[in-house]
Structure 1
Amino acid sequence: MKNIAVFIAFCLFIAYWSLTLFFTFPENPMNVRDLKYRQYFEAHFYQNWSFFAPPATFNERLYFSYIYNDLITNTKKVRTFETLVPITQEKKKKAPFNRKQDVLDYVICGSVHEVQNKIKEVYDIIKVEEKRSQKSSSIEEKNKKVIEEIEKTESFHNLQNYAKIVAEKNGIPKNDTQYKITITNIDIPKYVNKSSQTRREEKTVISSNLHPLKTTK
């Protein structure tokens, strides 16, 4: 009986570490094809490799752009707000009594991270499907597909809900207002260039479709 228990434990040990290695290897046609299983594995057997990760090379930015008619000037107006930096600043300002800001930071920044991870996954799936079908689509078609998939995710819906909060805070009218969400990355300068005044490059990761503000839940 003891030998059977040892054998089962050994098999589970081998299976666990085999799956861990399989799903943490760099993307390849095999583990990209099994993205659903990888997501399940990461949800229940998450491995945090941040200790071994290289230092971050970019900072994230989250923009909400609102388009509406200004009733005073009777002209179309566009107002854009970056929201990640204010969240971080408010969190530092209210420390150590910053539980509300800490939760907001966790939800919004976490959603931005998840969106970026999902973008990479969708592009990987497209790449595998193209290789399998031996048909390639245009960059515009790929980007359209990525945006469609991203806008179905819970993380994107979290950002949509936050769009309503940002709008209310800044006096944006709800009626006849459209908005879009843009995520960008700004390069972090190397330590030797830390004091450089050179403008850092900001790259757009995703810019969503326009959505009506009033229907945002």
Structure 2
Amino acid sequence: MKKIYFYFIITVFVLYWLCTIVFVSPKNYITISLYEQEQFFNTFFFQKWGFFAPPPKHNDRLYFKFESKKDSTKFFLYEVIEPLQKRKSKKAPFNSSEDILDYILSSTILSITDGLIAVNESIDYKKITNDSLNNNIDLSKKIEEGKKYIQTLPSFQTLKNYGVFIARKHNVNNISEYNMTIEIIQVEMPKFADRDKLYDKKNHKSKIVFESDKISL
């Protein structure tokens, strides 16, 4: 019986580290083809290996836009990452709830951006077209395919649920009268040599990584 337990533990240990090595390795054909399995693995064993990684080049920002179904000029826009990080810093070390929420949102955003990369690389592998004149068509195809795929993921459902929470938190009345749009934006971080620019947000470049369809609430 002890040998059975021993072999079982060894098998689990080997499988765990094998999955870890595969899923934290740089994107390649294997990781792209196993994307759904990777999402399942990350749901229970999420890891972010950054010890030997270069410093981040951008900050993630998560926006929820609530637009009136009757009047598109009437809307509410809320960014949730930066205020959360400020609360987390202010309440330290008694910030366990903020820390957990930051972890959930960060891992969700990472899952979505990884999914978009996987979709783009999958389209490239299929070689939709070799005509250099159709680059714009390729780009629109990637955007639509990426949006369609991301909106089927559990991580996107997590953001939808959190968006409803944000609407209620900010007293958006008659929530059923609004459509919600979710945007993920990356804001450029200055290099250490340009650290004085950290406080000059006007010079920060940003790009939209993901923008959802309008979601009826």
2:205 corresponding residue in structure 1? 201
Greater shift in the superposed pair: 75-84 or 53-62: 75-84
In structure 2, how many angstroms separate the alpha carbons of the residues matched to 1:151 and 1:142? 14
Asked if 1 retains the 8 angstrom alpha-carbon contact of 2:24 and 2:49, the reply is: no
CA separation of 1:176/1:114 partners in 2, compared to 1, >3 Å: closer, same or farther? same
2:81 corresponding residue in structure 1? 84
Asked if 1 retains the 8 angstrom alpha-carbon contact of 2:39 and 2:111, the reply is: no
Which structure has more helix as a fraction of its residues? 2
Greater shift in the superposed pair: 58-67 or 173-182: 173-182
Which amino acid in the other structure matches residue 96 of structure 2? R
CA separation of 1:86/1:18 partners in 2, compared to 1, >3 Å: closer, same or farther? closer
Asked if 1 retains the 8 angstrom alpha-carbon contact of 2:147 and 2:210, the reply is: yes
In structure 2, how many angstroms separate the alpha carbons of the residues matched to 1:160 and 1:15? 33
CA RMSD of aligned residues (A): 3.5
TM-score computed with the length of structure 1 as normaliser: 0.76
CA separation of 1:195/1:166 partners in 2, compared to 1, >3 Å: closer, same or farther? same
2:65 corresponding residue in structure 1? 65
In structure 1, how many angstroms separate the alpha carbons of the residues matched to 2:161 and 2:46? 27
Correspondence list, 1:156-175, <5 A: 156-173=156-173, 174-175=175-176
In structure 2, how many angstroms separate the alpha carbons of the residues matched to 1:107 and 1:18? 25
Please state if 1:190 is matched with 2:191: yes
In structure 2, runs of 5+ residues without a counterpart are 1-11
Query: What do the CA deviations read for 1:106-148 (whole angstroms, capped 9, x no partner)?
Result: 21222112111111112122222236x9798532222111001
CA separation of 1:108/1:49 partners in 2, compared to 1, >3 Å: closer, same or farther? closer
CA separation of 1:172/1:45 partners in 2, compared to 1, >3 Å: closer, same or farther? closer
In structure 1, how many angstroms separate the alpha carbons of the residues matched to 2:19 and 2:105? 30
In structure 2, how many angstroms separate the alpha carbons of the residues matched to 1:114 and 1:169? 25
In structure 2, how many angstroms separate the alpha carbons of the residues matched to 1:86 and 1:66? 18
Greater shift in the superposed pair: 54-63 or 103-112: 103-112
Q: State the Cα distance separating 1:32 from its structure 2 match.
A: 3.2
Secondary structure, counterpart of 1:183 in structure 2: strand
CA separation of 1:130/1:194 partners in 2, compared to 1, >3 Å: closer, same or farther? same
In structure 2, how many angstroms separate the alpha carbons of the residues matched to 1:145 and 1:19? 27
Q: State the Cα distance separating 1:42 from its structure 2 match.
A: 6.6
Correspondence list, 1:4-83, <5 A: 25-29=25-29, 31-36=31-36, 49-68=49-68, 76-83=73-80
Which amino acid in the other structure matches residue 195 of structure 1? D
Alignment: residue pair count: 201
In structure 1, how many angstroms separate the alpha carbons of the residues matched to 2:122 and 2:97? 37
TM-score computed with the length of structure 2 as normaliser: 0.76
In structure 1, runs of 5+ residues without a counterpart are 1-11
Q: State the Cα distance separating 1:15 from its structure 2 match.
A: 9.4
In structure 2, how many angstroms separate the alpha carbons of the residues matched to 1:75 and 1:17? 50
Which amino acid in the other structure matches residue 115 of structure 2? K
Query: What do the CA deviations read for 1:63-83 (whole angstroms, capped 9, x no partner)?
Result: 00110168xxx7840211110
In structure 2, how many angstroms separate the alpha carbons of the residues matched to 1:82 and 1:47? 25
CA separation of 1:100/1:138 partners in 2, compared to 1, >3 Å: closer, same or farther? same
CA separation of 1:28/1:100 partners in 2, compared to 1, >3 Å: closer, same or farther? closer
CA separation of 1:87/1:46 partners in 2, compared to 1, >3 Å: closer, same or farther? closer
Greater shift in the superposed pair: 150-159 or 191-200: 191-200
